[in-house]
Structure 1
Amino acid sequence: MPLAADQARYSAAIAGGRNMLLLSHLRILAVLGQLVTILFVQFGLGVRLPLVPMITVVGALALLNLGTLVFLTRGGIVTNRGMFLALLTDFAALSAQFYMSGGVTNPFAPIGLLQIVIGSVLLEAWSCWVLVALHSIAFGLLSLFHRPLLLPDGYAITFSPVQILASWLNFVLVAVLLVFFVTRISRNLRTRDATLAELRQRAAEEDHIVRMGLLASGAAHELGTPLSSLSVILSDWRRQPALAADPQEIGEAQAAVARCKDIVGGILYASGEARGEDLKRTTLRQFLTDVATTWSTLRPGLLAFDYRPHFDPVVVVDRTIAQILTNMLDNAHEAGAGHIQMIVEIRDGILVLTVQDDGNGFPPDMLETIGQPYRSSKDRRGAGLGLFLAVNVLRKLGGRLSVRNGPVRGAIVAISVPLVALTPEAAHG
């Protein structure tokens, strides 16, 4: 499965390229429109313009657009900075044309608002406001400094200073309002799209969990019989004189089989096939002590259990919590940890279980994708499902999982669950 961050960058790059292509098409229309207008005003209306400089600006804009199209055809990546620079180039060309053709007295002067609208849709917020500021400043300066547009008799009109000031204020007001509302509308649309994408991702993950649950439930049924047979065979072997003298290996094998049976039972319990059994009430300390003791049986001397609350609440804990903790401890051990500490805390009604180790920690590129299926530093089939399942189980309980590397080495994995979700009342409710 591709990384979410990679998918986001890829989508942004695709959208940036398409937007730049649209901007290039618009620039082609602008180049043709400017060329036709200049020639018509010069030769059709008889208004004298600085023809060579204005045609030069049009030609430079056309060459820039050609370079942009070549860049896009070669798979160039377009970022907000690139889009902003492109719009700044268009702004500079437009300002130069207006400077040479009457400034704000040019009937086309308000066309700069089109660039502001495009920028408010395509650019980040800070870029939009910079564009507004530049256009507003340019509009004000062009009212003071420009080459007069010498119109023939019958075409000439005169703007009073008050009219010019009003035109500038109107331009600034419209530009600010456009950016203000368009950027907010765009942000709302992006938020909506992000929410929909998150819902689709969550639905896909839950569907993945259902399919894995069905597969695990079927496997648990099939494993039940051979595990029971192994348990009986090991009990018989323990009574054999040849093996009774060194019962340690038989004991370890029996503990491993017992753990496998417990895992299989937990799978059936979580899938709803063990509902006939009464929920077992216990205390939080006893439950976590049992998990730590069971895990330490096969790996003695590695785990330190630190229970910090000053009280011991009665809980009814789903077996999946024990499986999550066991998986966290297994991950720490497989990461090369020589010392593992499981810390239990209760903060403002939230149960926080933290597993710290001195192993290799998580690769930096994995920290952003923790909880996605099959994202793991372990090179084996099915790796990465443990934390994926943990995230989704905790989500059902109103909890969360957080992962970070230690200050020196190792990893710190913490799960937090509302204590009320583990109470007997919640279990029966």
Structure 2
Amino acid sequence: MDLGSLRADPHYSRRLRLETLVRLRWLAVGGQAVTVAVVRLVFGFPMMLGPCLVLVGVLALANILLSVFFRPTLRLHPAATSALLALDLIQLSALLFITGGLANPFSVLICVPVTISFASQPIRQSLFLITIALVSVTVLAFSPFALPWYPDHPFIMDKIMRLGIWCAIVSTMGFAAFYAYRVSLEATQLADALAATELVLQRQKHLSQLDGLAAAAAHELGTPLATISVVAKEMERELGNDPHFGEDVLLLRSQSERCRDILRRLTTLSAEEEAHMRRLPLSSLIEEVLAPHRHPGITIRVVDKSGRTGEPVGVRNAGIIYGLGNLIENAVDYARSEVTITVEHTSDTVKLVIEDDGPGYAPDILSRIGEPYVTHRQREDSAGGLGLGLFIAKTLLERSGAKITFSNRNNRQSGAQIAVTWRRDVMDALN
């Protein structure tokens, strides 16, 4: 499934609201203003008060302009977001530069815009921002301005300590950026995959409801068609022998009767075939799932260990049909010649085991099978893959109450094995 069809803009989920950034910036303005006031007025440390207030005022003015000219619910394009974060980074760096550089204990705050960017923006914009941050930290290491401190005890930082702080900030920035990016990426992929799952399930449910829609349409059309039929009979009685209109009236009546017959069949479709269409024994469910995946070059063998006596019978479930179908499709894609499906049911459990004679799962992938976008499985050619489709199948089956385990057969080279197990009472209600 192409996730691009789910959203017109592939980066829409990474767009931040303007209001979010504005609030964060007001927090920064307040924090900077309070810090400057405490350092100068409370502690009485000498500092460049005028330039500090100008830099804080620039950030506040930019916030005011954004609030006035743009609506707060606006979702910013990644380029615009990166530009605003870059402005914040430069403003903070300038304020730190004139207040001691890396000797300023607040210099670690340079990591904040970078972390926000990696958590919410595409990697291209984030790399651009971290480059600016690295340049800014390096420039701060050479700041000629002294840290605001007691006049009679000037604060002097050793070069080794300055280098250590530079290394600490850079490593913190890199770690925080990588962590935020990975967490955000996994959350985005999971959200996209779940959206695709819901789309597939909704589509399957719509298909299963077509008979009900047809019956409803037939019921609604029945009344006006009956009226047309009555009028046609009256016209036939009056004009049946008319040389000009008699044949037309007869044709009108015959076609109205034909329409009524068609609608009658549609009306009875749901009632007559509901039991057959909506309730399936386990053997019929397996056959329905297998039918679309029979391949001329691959033998699909069904081994029924328990027989059909006392097999589960339940309501058709679109999620189970799609999920099992996807697992079998993967097995057929990777099999060399045969896929075996073993079915077993007891009074407590229902179990399906799908096995193929392909190359099996790679050891490094086996522990991550079922996660979205895990798209590698060892094989002799490169066709097919495991990824979003398998995640959707696993999610739908687990929603039905199934437990799924992925493994390789006894010999790792002899193929993959997927076991799907339900409690009997759950399967009786859902399958």
Q: TM-score, normalised by structure 1?
A: 0.49
Q: TM-score, normalised by structure 2?
A: 0.48
Q: Say which structure, 1 or 2, has more relative contact order (CA 8 Å, 6+ apart).
A: 2
